Amino acid sequence: MYDRSGQKVVLITGCSSGIGAHCARRLMQDGWKVIASARKPDDIAALRQAGIEAFELDYADTGSIASFFDRAMEATGGRCDALYNNGAVSQLGAVEDLSTDALRHQFEVNFFGYHELTRHVLPVMRKQGHGRIVHCSSILGRVPVRWSGAYNASKFALEGLALTQRMELEGSGIRVSLIEPGPIASNIATNALEYFLANVDQDTSPYGTEYVKRISILKGDAKSKRRKDGPETVYKALRHALTSQRPRAHYPVTTKAKLGILAQRLLPSGLLYKLLIRSQ
C-alpha cells in the first residue's frame, strides 16, 4: 500500500500534452505523488515512461471516470490531497450551426465530467479534513467571443458551479479555485478543428465565408504558438492554488486574459461586445 511518509497526492486530468503534461511533470519534480490521466494508450505510456502513474480517463464516459478514480485510490492507498480538472475539448462553430448533440458532448466533457470526478473525490477529502479542487476554466468563461459559443457556455457553467461549491465548502478544509487562461501554447486548436469539421456543415451555413477565415487561423495555430504564453504560466497559478494558505477563487492567466477582465469591468457592455467582435 502506498505510504511514502506523507507525500501529497494530486490527480490531474488531460495530461496527454500542453498544460496537463507540463503541470504533471512539474508537480512530480516538486515532490508530489502525481496520478495523471489521458485518453490514448500512447499518451499514457509516455507519462509512465516519465515516471508518472497514469490511467485512462474519458470525461464523457461515466464508467471511465469511476474506473480512473478507483485505480487512483488503489495506487495512493485512498489518499487525495488535490484534484486538478484540466482535460477539455473545444467545439467551434456559430451557435446557430451546432446540433444539440454537439453542444451536449461539449458539456459532457467540460462540465458534467468535471462535476462527476469531483463528487468521487470529495468524500475522500472530507474524511481527511482537507483538500484542494482546482478547475481549469478559461477567460472565455468570463468574457465570450464569437464562434466559440459551446465552449464559452461550458466554461460559464463551470464558473457558476465551482464558485457556488467554493462557498458551500467554506469551513470544511476543502478549497475550490478556478484557473482562467487566455491563449496558451497547446494542441487545443488542432483538436478544435477536428470537432468543427465533424459537426458543422460549412456549405449550408450563413457563416461560410467567416468559417474560411476561422479554419485558416486554426491551421496556422502551430506557427502562432510561439506568440502565446507557455504552460508554465498556468503552472505558477496552479502551484499557488494548491499550496497557498489562502488560495484565490480566480486565477486569470496571461496578459490578454487580465485585460479582458479589466475591459469587462470598466466598459459599457455595448462597447465591450463591439470591441470583442472587432478583435476577431
CA Rg value for the chain: 19
85 closest CA partner among 48, 66, 46, 111? 111
Give catalytic residue positions. Answer: 151
C-alpha–C-alpha distance, residues 85 and 260, integer Å: 23
Q: What is the mean pLDDT of each run of 10 residues along the chain (280 residues)?
A: 76 97 98 98 97 98 99 98 97 97 98 99 98 98 97 99 99 98 84 92 94 85 65 97 98 96 97 93
pLDDT of residue 219: 79
What is the tens place of the pLDDT at every residue in 62-75?
999 999 999 999 99
If you write DSSP's letter for every residue of 64-124 in order, what string do you get? Answer: HHHHHHHHHHHHHTS--SEEEE-------B-GGG--HHHHHHHHIIIIIHHHHHHHHHHHH
How many residues comprise the chain? 280
pLDDT of residue 261: 97
pLDDT of residue 280: 83
Full-model pTM: 0.94
172: phi then psi, degrees, rounded to nearest 5: -90, -15
Only one residue has cell 471516470, namely 65
Only one residue has cell 471511465, namely 64
Domain boundaries along the sequence of the chain:
9-185+227-279
What is the tens place of the pLDDT at every residue in 26-44?
999 999 999 999 999 999 9
> What is the fold, at CATH topology level, of the domain defined by 9-185+227-279?
Rossmann fold (3.40.50)
3-state DSSP assignment of residue 4: helix
